[in-house]
Amino acid sequence: MFTITNGFTYIAFLLFLAGSLLALEKYGKWKVFNYAPPLVWIYILNMAFCTMGLYNSEECSAAYGVLKNNLLYAMIFVMLLRCDFRKLAKLSGRMIAIFLGCSLTLAVGFLVGYPIFKGALGADTWGATAALYASWVGGSANMAAMGDALPVDPGAYACALALDTVCYSLWIALLLFMVKYADKWDNATKADKSKLMAVADAANAEIAKDKKQAKAADWIWLIGLALMVSACAQKIGLLMNTGFKAIGLGMFDKGTCTTVFVTILGLVCAMTSIGRLPAVEELSTILLYAVVSLLATQAPLNDLLSAPMWVVYGVFILVIHVVGMYILSKLFHWDLCMVSTASVANIGGSASAPIIACSYNEAYAGIGVLMGVLGAAIGNFAGLGMGALLKMLS
């Protein structure tokens, strides 16, 4: 098998592959992307190339070591610049409660199911499982962040991604199918939808207000800022780790400290003029694709042999999630439209939630976007908390 023996060629190939898949989705209209988005295919293809030995060289390993963490922390920072909590106020307390209810019921599924399935999932899987939970609160970027903040085994990470891919696809299809049965759910829960349109209008207005054309100066300033934040944050993370060790809190390692620091910094900067730069969303997407591509080159495809039981675990979690959300909906009179939107905002992020919301009413798209943004804001903290609990259960 041909092996890449040049670091620059390695990076060029990863970006070319990602760009090609995105171009095929946009211009080729391939039906294969109806089943899984380009991000998933990027991971699967790079795992296949890893298995075949394409990246098995010292030059590829050196390039990976230099870039992965540096780009990861830049990605977290830029991603969180979208998470201005003043925008999230447009969701109203009710919508935020529905979103958090989804996060809570998913957490119950993870915690109840882990002792049952951990023997079948493989050894040392609690870190990858916590990373998956972070993804099911805020999306793939949070899962990538947990890959450094927690001790995540590459093989278990690959299996967690397989679970994510299969369950996400099935979940979207099921929720779209359930649209025509929404009245039965709403009647059973005595749902209150009286103020829904007002919330939708406020959310859409907030999204539209930020749509601006990015200029070259915006891109250069934001890229430079993100990379400098990444460099400084890693130094600060090391200092924080040293300080914690001195007082007997060595469990807060450098990766955890750096992730928490970057997350808080990003959330603070989101409330300043930096968060209003028009290139924020595009750059966070570019960095996400780059980081995911890098991670996949370290995860051979044969690690997926244990994935079937991971998928069963994922289905178990979703069953607990449905039962829990139905109970909460009966108690608080939540409608199926917002429950479904919040559920996909957790599991799929801000790119997927509007699909479900718009299947009920096109005016609800902004609600889905803002719910997804909320997940991105809290996903890292949720993943770290879940990691601490799962470690105790392992």
Instruction: Assign 3-class secondary structure to the chain.
Output: CCCCCCHHHHHHHHHHHHHHHHHHHHHHCCHHHHCCCHHHHHHHHHHHHHHCCCCCCHHHHHHHHHHHHHHHHHHHHHHHCCCCHHHHHHHHHHHHHHHHHHHHHHHHHHHHHHHHHHHHHCCCCHHHHHHHHHHHHHCHHHHHHHHHHCCCCHHHHHHHHHHHHHHHHHHHHHHHHHHHHHHHHHHHHCCCCCCHHHHHHHHHHHHHHCCCCCCHHHHHHHHHHHHHHHHHHHHHHHHHHHHHHHCCCCCCCHHHHHHHHHHHHHHHHCCCHHHHCCCHHHHHHHHHHHHHHHHHCCCCHHHHHHHHHHHHHHHHHHHHHHHHHHHHHHHHCCCHHHHHHHHHHHHCCCCCHHHHHHHHCHHHHHHHHHHHHHHHHHHHHHHHHHHHHHHHHC
Provide the pLDDT for residue 333.
Answer: 93
pLDDT in tens, 43-94: 778 888 988 899 989 999 999 999 988 998 998 898 888 777 777 777 788 8
* Rounded Cα–Cα distance for residues 260 and 220 (Å): 26
* Rounded Cα–Cα distance for residues 266 and 229 (Å): 10
Provide the pLDDT for residue 147.
Answer: 78
| CB-CB contact of 186 with 193 (8 Å) | yes
Domain spans, the chain = 7-393
Residue 229 has pLDDT above 90, yes or no: yes
* Rounded Cα–Cα distance for residues 107 and 113 (Å): 10
| CB-CB contact of 79 with 376 (8 Å) | yes
Residue 226 has pLDDT above 90, yes or no: yes
Task: Give percent above pLDDT 70 in the chain.
Answer: 94
Provide the pLDDT for residue 249.
Answer: 63
Provide the pLDDT for residue 250.
Answer: 58
* Rounded Cα–Cα distance for residues 158 and 162 (Å): 6
Provide the pLDDT for residue 303.
Answer: 59
Provide the pLDDT for residue 17.
Answer: 95
Which positions ≥6 away from 205 have C-beta within 8 Å? Answer: 90, 366
Higher-confidence position of 206 and 61: 61
Query: Virtual CA dihedral for 301, 305, 308, 309, nearest 10 degrees?
Result: -120
Provide the pLDDT for residue 35.
Answer: 65
How sure is the predictor about 170, in pLDDT bands with cuts at 50, 70 and 90? confident
Segment 138-157 shows an average pLDDT of 82
Tokens representing 100 are: 């958090």
Provide the pLDDT for residue 305.
Answer: 61
Residue 371 has pLDDT above 80, yes or no: yes
Instruction: Assign 3-class secondary structure to 143-180.
Output: HHHHHHHCCCCHHHHHHHHHHHHHHHHHHHHHHHHHHH
CB-based burial, 190-200: b 16+ in 10 Å, e otherwise? ebeeeebeebb
Residue 212 has pLDDT above 90, yes or no: no
How sure is the predictor about 362, in pLDDT bands with cuts at 50, 70 and 90? confident
Residue 254 has pLDDT above 90, yes or no: no
Segment 269-294 shows an average pLDDT of 86
Provide the pLDDT for residue 210.
Answer: 63
